[in-house]
Amino acid sequence: MEYIYATSKNLEEIYQLVRDTVTSIYPKYYPREVVDFFCRLHSKENILKDIESGLVGMLVDNGQLVGTGSYNENHITRVYVCPKYQGQGYGSFIMQTLEDKIALTYTDAFLDASLPACHMYEKRGYVTQKHEKWDVENGVVLVYEIMRKELSAANRFFEEISSNAHVALNTMQYDGWLIRFANGYTNRANSISVIYPSTINFDVKVPYCEEIYKKANLPCVFKLTEDDNELNKYLEARGYEVVTPTDVMILDLKDKAFQKGACVFSKEPTEEWLRAFFAFEGFKDIAKQETFCQMFSKVLVDTIYCSVIKDGEVIACASAAMEHGYMLLQNVVVSPEYRGRGYGQVVCESLIAQAKENGAHHTYLQVIRENVAAVNMYLKLGYERAYTYWYMKK
């Protein structure tokens, strides 16, 4: 299943899908005048205009067009699933994709709800804001609902999906905060992620977290973003300092082409991949290796592991985790003797190409700002900075 952008070449099939859906489903809910109104609303001319604006998507499964979705700014405007494919989750998939795109810029989404789709929208968390009416013809009036859904802010969305891609061994939930533990290996998996709204005062929450980490014989570390200025100031006053500022960078894969090198791909980390990864990273401690293996095994979203092969040996490796069409590029490492020869770019491009074939429409990554060589490589690949996070640590 793949959600892709439509081009003018797809106009006829999208128009036919929308028209077939309207003429077969809408007469069960509306009089003829309203059905005719929707057919005019979704004319070839109007659909083509949206396609040319780059706002129309197509959901394709096994080479078959099953649905389409459109949006303009934070307004979802045209979601249709072919009647024979309805009730199989395709509409929800399209809606999630559109909401994810909108969440990159807006904190809420709006739509005009038709009667056949109201129930699905309500199940997805949309709430009616008001009712509107439109005089159609022959005295017939179309009454419809304007519905709104609050979306995760873009930062929160990426914080959520990245935590599903780099998984801690244990996680506690505490008043909107995620308290994560992984035997002390990596700050990401051993820190407090401030993702959701908080109701308890910092004077209560922070000492509680400090005590939890003290019992685990670990330092108390907070992972903050640009949305957490109030907590950042509180922690500074408490003696915490900024550690490893990290940029989250994003690349829209629309109209982008990447080539695969001499690579091997797998859905799970193979022994060869793990051996190379640990050797290149300098992880000689067996306990550390076992912790990383446990962390890899706990990832539930789709994963891809990539190895660049030269003369029968792995010389570079990386991995990806995919959710909602967003691919996290991570664990990029090259053998020390082959660094500076472009193999880092080869493994990244190969993994992106494979992920795009698997349905990814965006890729993102997390890179420490001080790693200038890596930042420059990612900029060369087309990534752009979305936001920054950092750790607060005593």
Going by DSSP bridges, is the β-strand pair 192-194/221-225 parallel, antiparallel, or unpaired? parallel
The span from the CA of 253 to the CA of 255, in Å, is: 6
Same domain, 161 and 222: yes
pTM for this predicted structure: 0.66
pLDDT at 93: 85
Does some domain include residue 68?
yes
Domains identified in the chain, total number: 3
| Alpha helix positions (H), the chain | 11-25, 32-41, 44-52, 90-103, 118-123, 154-165, 202-215, 229-237, 271-281, 286-297, 343-357, 372-381
Going by DSSP bridges, is the β-strand pair 127-135/141-150 parallel, antiparallel, or unpaired? antiparallel
Burial of 39 (0-12, 13-18, 19+ CB in 10 A): middle
**Count of residues making up the chain:** 394
Does some domain include residue 284?
yes
Same domain, 163 and 105: no
Same domain, 103 and 178: no
Same domain, 264 and 308: yes
Domain interval for residue 354: 255-360
Same domain, 226 and 299: no
Does some domain include residue 226?
yes
pLDDT at 181: 97
Helix axes 11-25, 32-41, angle to 10 degrees: 170
Same domain, 135 and 39: yes
Distance set, CA 204 to CA 60, 68, 228, 239 (Å):
50, 48, 17, 16
Does some domain include residue 391?
no
Cβ within 8 Å of residue 311, ≥6 positions away: none
CATH number reported for the structural domain that contains residue 269 in this entry: 3.40.630.30
The span from the CA of 117 to the CA of 302, in Å, is: 30
Same domain, 29 and 167: no
Going by DSSP bridges, is the β-strand pair 221-225/108-113 parallel, antiparallel, or unpaired? unpaired
Same domain, 7 and 140: yes
pLDDT at 154: 67
Does some domain include residue 220?
yes
Does some domain include residue 273?
yes
- Binned average pLDDT, 10 residues per bin, the chain of 394 residues: 91 96 95 95 95 93 94 94 91 86 82 88 89 93 92 77 95 94 95 86 96 97 89 96 94 91 96 97 95 96 97 96 95 96 96 96 95 94 91 96
| Boundary of a domain, candidates 218, 245, 272 | 245
Same domain, 206 and 333: no
Does some domain include residue 378?
no
Structural contact between residues 81 and 44, judged by C-beta atoms closer than 8 angstroms = no
Same domain, 84 and 124: yes
Does some domain include residue 259?
yes
The span from the CA of 14 to the CA of 6, in Å, is: 9
Same domain, 236 and 290: no
| Boundary of a domain, candidates 245, 276, 299 | 245
Same domain, 60 and 140: yes
